[in-house]
Amino acid sequence: MKTNLYQNKMLIDDLSCFFSNKCVLENVSLSIIKNEILTIIGPSNSGKTSFLRTLNRMNDFNSDFSRKGNVFLDEENIFHMNMEKLRMRVGMLFAMPIPLPMTVYENVIYAPKRLGVIKHGKKSEMDAIVEQALRDASLWDEVKDRLDSSAMKMSGGQQQRLCIARILAINPEVILFDEPCSGLDPISTAKVEETMIALKKRYTIVLVTNNVKQASRVGDRTAFFLMGRLIEIGGTAKLFVSPKEQKTNDYITGRFG
């Protein structure tokens, strides 16, 4: 696969994934460019989430999972990396917010403390990490006066942005979003989308979404998956206006999905 390695943050090379010998991804090759939002679209059971979970090896926890091919992060094969090191470099946000049953402050600082990101353990150092992560997640102004309140009392949209802050607190390089707005109202969805667009200045983002309008709003490039295969990938604006493949056009225009 020929590509410009200097622009790439991740390179997926001939990746196939299986669950109990059933192929869910077949010979997928693509690049993820540094500081872009790559959106992944496609109908249910097209392999989108399996692809995303392979990028930080979450599928490895499933004993029925196997794979062929390679995934490179800055030219280093992720399948040869220490798992904890990989998780610090590639964070993941899930469809439903999963706040820890702790305060807002403790949610944000939990991972940095556990992973040794905090160097000196000073309260001032932890305060700075919490504030910066919450600011980057567009949440600071809403919660700065109730950092000691339970995260479980927050709204769904706030909880999802808190989960984003929790990822940002360990300063990863890539953030994977798996349907992050599926359970949110339009206002909360807009805030999460605005946050993603702001974050791409410092992070590389991969977004799986079933909402093609969301993909068109935030994606720099979009990849269309169907039945475990990568059908087409290209600039979002061009792909949504004049896709090369008829199947892509049929999905975008709502003829199936």
* Domain-located, residue 84: yes
* Domain-located, residue 2: no
* Domain-located, residue 83: yes
**Domain CATH for 67:** 3.40.50.300
* Domain-located, residue 257: no
Domains contained in the chain, number: 1
How much is the pTM?
A: 0.92
Taking a C-beta distance cutoff of 8 angstroms, is the pair 39, 218 a contact? yes
Residue whose C-alpha is closest to residue 74's, from 173, 202, 220, 181? 173
* Domain-located, residue 18: yes
CA–CA distance from 78 to each of 8, 15, 47, 56, 121 (Å)?
14, 13, 19, 8, 30
**What is the C-alpha separation between 90 and 83, in angstroms, rounded?**
10
**What is the C-alpha separation between 186 and 229, in angstroms, rounded?**
31
Helix axes 123-136, 104-115, angle to 10 degrees: 110
Taking a C-beta distance cutoff of 8 angstroms, is the pair 67, 18 a contact? yes
Tokens of 185: 């109202």
* Domain-located, residue 148: yes
SS3 label, residue 92: strand
The distance from CA 72 to its chain's CA centroid, rounded to whole angstroms, is 16
Taking a C-beta distance cutoff of 8 angstroms, is the pair 94, 178 a contact? yes
* Domain-located, residue 53: yes
Q: Which domain holds residue 101?
A: 8-252
pLDDT tens sequence for the chain (257 residues): 444 544 899 999 999 999 998 999 999 999 999 999 999 999 999 999 999 999 999 999 999 999 999 999 998 999 999 998 999 999 999 999 999 999 999 999 999 988 877 876 789 999 999 999 999 999 999 999 999 999 999 999 999 999 999 999 999 999 999 999 998 999 999 999 999 999 999 999 999 999 999 999 999 999 999 999 999 999 999 999 999 999 999 999 988 66
Looking at the DSSP bridge assignments, the partners of residue 225 are 230
Q: Are strands 76-77 and 90-93 parallel, antiparallel or unpaired?
A: unpaired
Q: Are strands 221-226 and 37-41 parallel, antiparallel or unpaired?
A: parallel
* Domain-located, residue 29: yes
